[in-house]
Amino acid sequence: MSFVFRKTTMEDIDILLPIQKASFQQDLEKYEDFETNPACETFEKLAENIKKYHHYTILHGETVIGAIDVRGNNERMHLDKVFISPFNQNNGAGTAAIQFLEEQFPNVRLWTLYTPYLSFRNHYFYEKFGYRKTKEVQLTPKLILFKYEKSPCVLLSE
């Protein structure tokens, strides 16, 4: 399957917000984290993030199926969230998203992200791309986040 990535626009919010909420709803129910779970994000907060950070919309054909939100610079880039519509998961979109980011930001020295401790599929997914668990953070009584990091090899010119 082929996917297209483009800068998110304000016009995308009405399509992306329901996809984001659906993508993170199970985690919200499991961990009851109403403060930081993206399922609780408002229209205004998503608009602010789109303006402030690197935000990309993921399309399959003409259909919007998800988005990526990354923050930082060439020294350190944080993958804040990547989400794919529950109806479009397990078709390579997540893999394409990570590959897209690495192509967009080839000089990043350190990639970081957080994912819930019981999200075993996420652990496997990120580890497959070279991310390693470096820390555990107790966010709420029910939620522990694992911090993952990846330091790609940066070739130095002679």
Beta bridge partners of residue 137, listed in sequence order: 145
Q: Encode pLDDT of 51-68 as tens digits.
A: 999 999 999 999 999 999
Q: Encode pLDDT of 91-142 as tens digits.
A: 999 999 999 999 999 999 999 999 999 999 999 999 999 999 999 999 999 9
Model confidence band, residue 74 (pLDDT cutoffs 50, 70, 90) = confident
The pLDDT score that the predictor gives to residue 156 is 52
Q: Is the pTM of this model over 0.95?
A: no
Q: Residue 148: count other Cβ atoms within 10 Å of its Cβ.
A: 22
Name the 3-class secondary structure at 13: helix
List of domains in the chain: 3-112 (3.40.630.30)
Q: Encode pLDDT of 139-156 as tens digits.
A: 999 999 999 999 976 555
Select from 86, 84, 89, 91 the least CA-distant residue to 67: 84
Mean pLDDT taken over the chain: 94
The pLDDT score that the predictor gives to residue 108 is 94
